[in-house]
Amino acid sequence: MSIKTVITGIGHFVPPKVVTNFDLEKRMTTSDEWIQQRSGIKERRHVEPGVGSSDLAVAAARLAMSDAKADPGDIDFVIAATLSPDHYFPGNGVIVQAKLGLGPVGALDVRDQCCGFIYALSVGDQYVRTGTYKKVLVVASEVQSANLDYSDRGRDMAVLFGDGAGAVILEPDASGSGRGILSVHLFSDGRFVPDLWMEKPSPKDNPTFQERFFSEGKFFPCMDGKNVFKNACQRMPEAVMAGLKHNGLGIEDLDVLIPHQANDRISQMVARALKIPEDKVVRNIHRYGNTTSASIPIALDEAVKDGRIHPGHLVGLTAFGSGYTWASALIRW
């Protein structure tokens, strides 16, 4: 009997501070109307100073561990996805390991931006299916709010992003129930790096931190929104179809689709391209904005807890982001 990886616990955490579009109107030339029309976002969460993405990760991980009835001593591997780690190095994996009081287990950092959760899931899935580890913590967390350009120059980015974290516990299932991760498909095209990136700091510059980079806004993330939009609308449906085809399934077999919450218009376009009814598509961007790697596990947790996802459901995850990277995962819940 082949081993499948099942998600036995899930949790998410967002910081309590709500930042509405009206709050942002006070900081830059924008409007609630513009933001809602272009992205569907009404509000997002921002951390208070001093709170890092590892703190959000730990809060989400504790909930996932409790859901899986796993004690810190049970976790035998950590995979932490983020583009906003507490430090340049080391990554968040070891910080999460220490803050949770886990044993001296391996801690891997994944840096695939908005695809971070699915990429991390793919790694955890391999370890579990090969029998290497029995309880893997996969956690995705972001603090974007601390490094956005809240002037008019950076308003396209600043209104979109929010802070949050989501986590799952992965375990083997050899019962033959059919439950678990059916497949993960990962893609990239690095020709588009400058379309969505934070160019500096870069060790290519010596010294790395130069005054002019500050004044030029190079330490802020920036993007070519239109190109990102266009590619996201194309690549996410392709990734979902690759997963369905691999499993001999069709779009009608999909019960729930969770696209990365990049922009509500993108999620609608993805639904349209796949010809999947919108009520099968989980969308919560209006409350959280784009939380990058954390958006899928946050939405997944909400959909599980509010009863939209039932045992036996076929759940599709798909993401697109900086790199470009894009991905899909199919899970029999």
Ligand X SMILES: CC(C)(COP(=O)(O)OP(=O)(O)OC[C@H]1O[C@@H](n2cnc3c(N)ncnc32)[C@H](O)[C@@H]1OP(=O)(O)O)[C@@H](O)C(=O)NCCC(=O)NCCS
Burial of residue 32 (CB within 10 Å: 0-12, 13-18, 19+) is middle
In whole angstroms, the minimum distance from the beta carbon of 78 to ligand X comes to: 24
Does 321 participate in binding ligand X (rule CB under 6 A)? yes
Which region, left, alpha or beta, applies to residue 131 given φ > 0 means left and ψ of -120 to 50 means alpha? left
Binding segment toward ligand X, per CB under 6 A, in 51-59, 126-134, 185-193, 225-233? 225-233
Phi, psi angles (nearest 5°) of residue 35: -65, -45
Other residues' Cβ atoms within 10 Å of the Cβ of residue 191:
9
Does 284 participate in binding ligand X (rule CB under 6 A)? no
Does 223 participate in binding ligand X (rule CB under 6 A)? yes
Single-letter code of the amino acid located at 202: S
Rule CB under 6 A: which of 21-40 touch ligand X?
30, 34-35, 38-39
Whether cis (ω within 30° of 0) applies to the bond prior to 15 is no
Nearer to ligand X, 47 or 114 (CB): 114
DSSP 197-218: E---S-TTSSSSS-HHHHHTTT
Query: Would you call 260 a catalytic residue per the annotation?
Result: yes
Query: Would you call 222 a catalytic residue per the annotation?
Result: no
Binding mask 129-148 for ligand X (x = CB under 6 A): --------------------
Separation of alpha carbons 242 and 277, rounded Å:
19
Q: Are 89 and 203 in contact (CB under 8 A)?
A: no
Does 4 participate in binding ligand X (rule CB under 6 A)? no
In whole angstroms, the minimum distance from the beta carbon of 320 to ligand X comes to: 6
Query: Applying CB under 6 A, which of residues 53, 231, 284, 290 lies at the interface with ligand X?
Result: 290
In whole angstroms, the minimum distance from the beta carbon of 52 to ligand X comes to: 21
Binding site for ligand X (CB under 6 A): 30, 34-35, 38-39, 114, 155-156, 159, 223, 225-226, 228-229, 232, 262-263, 266, 290, 321
